[in-house]
Chains A and B, each alone.
Chain A
Amino acid sequence: MKLTAGLHAEYLSFWRKKKPAVLFSTLFKKFRSILERNIRIMELMADIGDKLSGEYIFDRQYIYTITEELNNLLRQHISDLGDLEQHKNTELFNSFERIHNRIREEISGKYAVSEIPFTRFPEELLTAPNHTLDELGNENIIMGEIQNILKLPVPDGFFITTSVFSDFMKYNGLVPHVREYFDRLEKGEEKPADKVFKDLRAMILNGEFPKPIVWDISAATENINRKAGHDLVSYAIRGCASIKEKGSAFKPQCKTFLNVPQRETLNVYKEILADLLCSPELKHYPEKDFAVSASFFSMIDSGISGFIRTLDPEYPEKETITVGATFGLGGGLKDAIGNLDHYIVSRDPPHHVLSMEVTRKDRMLTLRREGGTIWMNIPHYTCRAPSLKPSRIKYLAETAIMIERYFKRPLEIMWCFDRKENLFILRTNLLSIRNSNSNVILPVEAAIRNAKVLFSGKGMVVQGGIATGKVYVVRNDEDLERFPTGSILVSSQTSPRFSRVIRKAKGILTGIGSPTGHLAAMAREFRVPTILNCGTAAKELKTGDEITIDAACNVVYCGAVMELQRYGLMQEDLFEESEEYLLLRRLLKHISALNLIDPYSRNFTPAGCRTYHDIMRYIHEKAVQKVIDLSKTYKHRRHVPVRRLETDIPLGIFIAEIAEEIKPGVGSRIREEEVNSVPMRALLQGLHESGMWSTKPLSVDMGSFMSSLTKTFSYSLSGPNHTGMNLALISEEYMNLNLRLGYHYTIIDAFIGDRSEDNRISFRFFGGVTDFSRRSMRVKFIGTILERFDFRVESHGDLIIGRIKKAAKSRMIGKMKLIGGLIGYTRQLDVQIGSQNSLSSRVEDFINIIERTMEVDGEQHDK
Chain B
Amino acid sequence: MNNMTNSGSNLKKLQILILDDEPIVCKRLKPAFLKAGYEVETFTDSANAMARTLDKNFDIVITDLKMEGMSGMEFLTEVKKQSPRTEIIVITGFATLEASKESFQKGVFNFVAKPFKLTDILEMVKQLKNERFKNVI
> B34 at the A/B interface (Cβ < 8 Å)?
yes
A580 pairs with B35, CB closer than 8 A: no
Q: Closest Cβ of chain B: how far from A326's Cβ, in Å? A: 39
A59 pairs with B24, CB closer than 8 A: yes
Interfacial chain B residues near A714, Cβ < 8 Å? none
> A58 at the A/B interface (Cβ < 8 Å)?
yes
> A444 at the A/B interface (Cβ < 8 Å)?
yes
> B122 at the A/B interface (Cβ < 8 Å)?
yes
A-B contacts counted at CB < 8 A amount to: 78
Stretch at the interface among B70-78, B81-89, B99-107, B109-117: B109-117
Once bound together, how far apart are the Cα atoms of A444 and B35, in whole Å?
A: 7
A59 pairs with B35, CB closer than 8 A: no
Within residues 30 to 54 of chain B, which ones have a CB less than 8 A from any CB in chain A? 31-32, 34-37
B37 pairs with A59, CB closer than 8 A: no
Interface readout for B12-35 with A: 1 if CB under 8 Å, 0 if not? Answer: 000000001010110111011011
> B130 at the A/B interface (Cβ < 8 Å)?
no
Once bound together, how far apart are the Cα atoms of A248 and B123, in whole Å?
A: 37
Which residue of chain B is the closest to A553 with respect to CB atoms?
B119
| Residue among B8, B37, B115 making CB contact with A57, cutoff 8 Å | B115
> B6 at the A/B interface (Cβ < 8 Å)?
yes
B115 pairs with A553, CB closer than 8 A: no
Interface readout for A606-643 with B: 1 if CB under 8 Å, 0 if not? Answer: 00000000000000000000000000000000000000
> A61 at the A/B interface (Cβ < 8 Å)?
yes
A62 pairs with B6, CB closer than 8 A: no
B35 pairs with A567, CB closer than 8 A: yes
> A356 at the A/B interface (Cβ < 8 Å)?
no
Interfacial chain B residues near A59, Cβ < 8 Å? 20, 22, 24-25, 93, 114-115
B117 pairs with A56, CB closer than 8 A: yes
Interfacial chain B residues near A674, Cβ < 8 Å? none
B9 pairs with A442, CB closer than 8 A: yes
Interfacial chain B residues near A60, Cβ < 8 Å? 22, 24
A573 pairs with B114, CB closer than 8 A: no
> B121 at the A/B interface (Cβ < 8 Å)?
yes
Task: Decide: A580 near B24, CB < 8 A? Known: A59-B93, A62-B93, A573-B31.
Answer: yes
> A862 at the A/B interface (Cβ < 8 Å)?
no
A57 pairs with B35, CB closer than 8 A: no
A51 pairs with B115, CB closer than 8 A: yes
Interfacial chain A residues near B121, Cβ < 8 Å? 57
> B124 at the A/B interface (Cβ < 8 Å)?
no
Interfacial chain A residues near B116, Cβ < 8 Å? 56-57
Interfacial chain B residues near A355, Cβ < 8 Å? none
Which residue of chain B is the closest to A464 with respect to CB atoms?
B118
Once bound together, how far apart are the Cα atoms of A448 and B37, in whole Å?
A: 9
> A390 at the A/B interface (Cβ < 8 Å)?
no
Once bound together, how far apart are the Cα atoms of A575 and B32, in whole Å?
A: 12
Interfacial chain A residues near B32, Cβ < 8 Å? 552-553
Interfacial chain A residues near B6, Cβ < 8 Å? 438, 441
A55 pairs with B24, CB closer than 8 A: no
Task: Decide: A573 near B27, CB < 8 A? Known: A65-B93, A441-B8.
Answer: yes
Interfacial chain A residues near B27, Cβ < 8 Å? 573, 578
Interfacial chain A residues near B122, Cβ < 8 Å? 553
Interfacial chain A residues near B118, Cβ < 8 Å? 54-57, 552-553
Q: Closest Cβ of chain B: how far from A576's Cβ, in Å? A: 11
A441 pairs with B119, CB closer than 8 A: no
> A97 at the A/B interface (Cβ < 8 Å)?
no
Within residues 34 to 63 of chain A, which ones have a CB less than 8 A from any CB in chain B? 51, 54-62
Interfacial chain A residues near B37, Cβ < 8 Å? 445, 448-449
Q: Closest Cβ of chain A: how far from B68's Cβ, in Å? A: 13
Query: Most chain-A CB neighbours within 10 Å: which of B8, B36, B115?
Result: B115
> A579 at the A/B interface (Cβ < 8 Å)?
yes
> A399 at the A/B interface (Cβ < 8 Å)?
no
| Residue among B24, B35, B94, B119 making CB contact with A579, cutoff 8 Å | B24
Once bound together, how far apart are the Cα atoms of A51 and B93, in whole Å?
A: 14
Interfacial chain B residues near A56, Cβ < 8 Å? 115-118
A55 pairs with B28, CB closer than 8 A: no
> A457 at the A/B interface (Cβ < 8 Å)?
yes
Which residue of chain A is the closest to B35 with respect to CB atoms?
A444
A58 pairs with B115, CB closer than 8 A: yes
B35 pairs with A445, CB closer than 8 A: yes
Once bound together, how far apart are the Cα atoms of A524 and B61, in whole Å?
A: 32
Which residue of chain B is the closest to A457 with respect to CB atoms?
B119
Once bound together, how far apart are the Cα atoms of A56 and B28, in whole Å?
A: 10
Interface readout for A571-584 with B: 1 if CB under 8 Å, 0 if not? Answer: 11101001110000
Q: Closest Cβ of chain B: how far from A785's Cβ, in Å? A: 38
Within residues 536 to 565 of chain A, which ones have a CB less than 8 A from any CB in chain B? 552-554
Which residue of chain B is the closest to A62 with respect to CB atoms?
B115
Q: Closest Cβ of chain B: how far from A174's Cβ, in Å? A: 35
Q: Closest Cβ of chain A: how far from B12's Cβ, in Å? A: 14
- A-B pairs with the 3 shortest C-beta distances? A58-B115, A61-B93, A59-B22
7 more A-B contacts (CB under 8 A) besides A55-B117, A59-B114, A571-B31? Answer: A58-B114, A61-B94, A61-B114, A62-B93, A457-B119, A553-B36, A579-B24
13 contacts between A and B (CB under 8 A): A55-B118, A57-B116, A59-B20, A59-B24, A59-B25, A59-B93, A62-B114, A441-B6, A444-B35, A448-B36, A448-B37, A553-B122, A572-B31
- Residues of A participating in the B interface, judged by any CB pair closer than 8 Å: 51, 54-62, 65, 438, 441-442, 444-445, 448-449, 457, 461, 552-554, 567, 571-573, 575, 578-580
